[in-house]
Amino acid sequence: MDKEGLLRLAAAAESLSAHPIARSVTRAVPGFDPTGVTGSREAAGRGVTVEWKGMRIAAGSRALLQEMGVACPQVHSPHTQVYVAAGGAYAGCLLIADAPKPGSAPAIAALRRLGARRIAMLTGDGEESASAAAAAVGIDEYHAAHLPLQKVEWLETLDRSGGGGHTICFIGDGVNDSPAIARAGVGVAMGALGSDAAIEAADVVLMSGDPARLPEAVSIARRTHAIVMQNIVFALGVKFLLLILGALGLATMWQAVFGDVGVMVIAVLNSMRLLRTGSGLLASNEESR
């Protein structure tokens, strides 16, 4: 089968899927008309099957095709592999260069500076592809060929081990990341590419889809926590002082009212410091560690 024919089969299979890989495949066939594509079924972490022009077409992992009884060769490549079958026969394999986002490596480095104790990559890609991606962004620990439920199991194992007493954060942008995002202590979805299910399950959504925003979100969360604690301590301190002065007859009712309103105003003004976000906030937090 020629390249164009293989791409059209893959585009037909992926045309009804919202997965980022599916979108890249359909973009490779400009003007493809999905009319006539029916019976789309997605196997989480494996691929998708559809009916098109009287044929059953499958696109996804080698394991998916083998489950369907289709014999296909093992393709060795550092790129993401999409195996395609049509009518019960092997049609070919697409190799997709899944380049890391430009901000990924700086984001990993910034998270380490912010105190991240362990950074690991969980991916459904094969060993070669996972190894290349991890090396490109500076991640030492990676786990390849992980299905969605295996990612959840990995997080649960880490949680049962105590996680070193630290919060477990998971960031994902795929259709199949929703269970892991929901299971993590803090789930982060990449808003630009994430599925609706992943965004719904997330605690934090990065609307720009830029990984470099994650360290900034951590810095904002820490600053928010610090200001909240400042407001609580200040408010309780002033009220406790007024309570003592009132009991001793040294504070009037109007002074107590003024003190109560004043505490509220000062707390609001202190909270407004959170509006000063951005790269300057991230830099200041990094320098303070």
Query: Looking at 67, 96, 125, which one is the last position of a domain?
Result: 96
Angle of helix 104-113 relative to helix 213-247, nearest 10 degrees? Answer: 30
CA–CA separation, 11 and 21 (whole Å)? 11
Q: Are residues 176 and 145 in the same domain?
A: yes
Specify whether 82 is located in the same domain as 121.
no
What is the per-residue pLDDT for 237? Answer: 92
Cα–Cα distance between 213 and 276 in angstroms, integer?
Answer: 15
pLDDT of residue 194: 60
Residues 170 and 249 in one domain: no
Same domain? For 133 and 195 the reply is yes
Query: Are both 12 and 74 inside the same structural domain?
Result: yes
Of 96, 122, 156, which marks where a domain is finished? 96
171 with 140, same domain?
Answer: yes
Rounded to whole angstroms, the Cα distance separating 46 from 235 reads 55
| Beta strands 141-143 and 120-122, pairing class | parallel
Q: β-strands 204-206, 186-190: how paired?
A: parallel
Rounded Cα distance between 198 and 221, Å, is: 21
A 10 A CB-CB count for 90 gives 17
pLDDT of residue 77: 82
| Statement to judge: residues 205 and 236 lie in one domain | no
Tokens of 250: 């040294």
Residue 12 belongs to domain with CATH number: 3.40.1110.10
* Shared domain check, 120 and 84: no
Q: How many domains does the chain have?
A: 3
The structure's pTM equals 0.73
pLDDT < 50 positions in the chain: 278-289
The pLDDT value given to residue 201: 82
Q: Give 3-62 pLDDT, tens digit per residue.
A: 999 999 999 999 988 787 888 899 999 888 888 899 999 887 789 999 999 999 999 999
Structure tokens at 289: 């560690």
The domain containing residue 244 runs over which residues?
216-288
Same domain? For 108 and 175 the reply is yes
Residue 280's closest CA among 231, 220, 225?
A: 220
